[in-house]
Chain A
Amino acid sequence: ETGVTQTPRHLVMGMTNKKSLKCEQHLGHNAMYWYKQSAKKPLELMFVYNFKEQTENNSVPSRFSPECPNSSHLFLHLHTLQPEDSALYLCASSPTAHRGHTDTQYFGPGTRLTVL
């Protein structure tokens, strides 16, 4: 596979369930990101990882727990979510920025999450 893949593509869960979203990038990038896209709101950055280390947590509730075991894989563990957490969750990866090199982020297809 090429690019950035995400599984599952669709997920329906109850508020008491525990589930995980998976992201894998095949681009040799060092940085990975989780974004949340709700209806009629701009894309919101949730977490940033650089070389497996978390560098950004954008005030995300603790019911979302990220994990980055290596530069190619990123997980988002979900537990006791609320209906307002229903959204499209997008993963992205990018090269680490350095002079003369564009740090363009490349996105996966997203996981559409519905919390009942």
Chain B
Amino acid sequence: AQKITQTQPGMFVQEKEAVTLDCTYDTSDPSYGLFWYKQPSSGEMIFLIYQGSYDQQNATEGRYSLNFQKARKSANLVISASQLGDSAMYFCAMREGDYTGTASKLTFGTGTRLQVTL
């Protein structure tokens, strides 16, 4: 089974509107972390937001928020007030387990291509 599933290969949103990018995950480990990255056409993966499995509140970073529904194992990214510069690939990733003292490993989804239109 896939660890990270992103079911939307492509999405369109109008400038200034909000958009939700879906991500579901599969793990039996009680300790895990969920990450969202943005990859513009230039190739660099840009970290956007993080949610820990024990975090009580949904994470927010500026225009980005993470809709974390633990029971459903979903971690959707919400981008408010979309801008043309938001057009990119968006990847959801998960780190399973507690990597205290060691380097962690991320499993990535296949990504969603977001296109912001005028």
Binding partners A and B: yes
A-B contact count (CB 8 A): 77
For A99, what are the chain B residues with a Cβ–Cβ distance below 8 Å?
A: 100
- In the complex, the answer to whether B47 meets A106 with C-beta atoms within 8 Å is yes
Task: Indicate if B56 sits at the interface (CB-CB under 8 A).
Answer: no
For A40, what are the chain B residues with a Cβ–Cβ distance below 8 Å?
A: 110
- In the complex, the answer to whether A55 meets B102 with C-beta atoms within 8 Å is yes
In the complex, the 7 A-B pairs of residues with the closest C-beta atoms, listed nearest first: A31-B103, A107-B45, A50-B103, A97-B99, A43-B108, A110-B43, A109-B44
Interface residues of B (CB under 8 A from A): 4, 33, 35, 37, 42-47, 50, 52, 91, 93, 95, 98-111
- In the complex, the answer to whether B108 meets A48 with C-beta atoms within 8 Å is no
State whether A105 and B100 are in contact (beta carbons under 8 Å apart), knowing that A42-B110, A45-B105, A48-B105 are contacts in the complex.
no
For A41, what are the chain B residues with a Cβ–Cβ distance below 8 Å?
A: 110
- In the complex, the answer to whether A33 meets B47 with C-beta atoms within 8 Å is no
- In the complex, the answer to whether A96 meets B43 with C-beta atoms within 8 Å is no
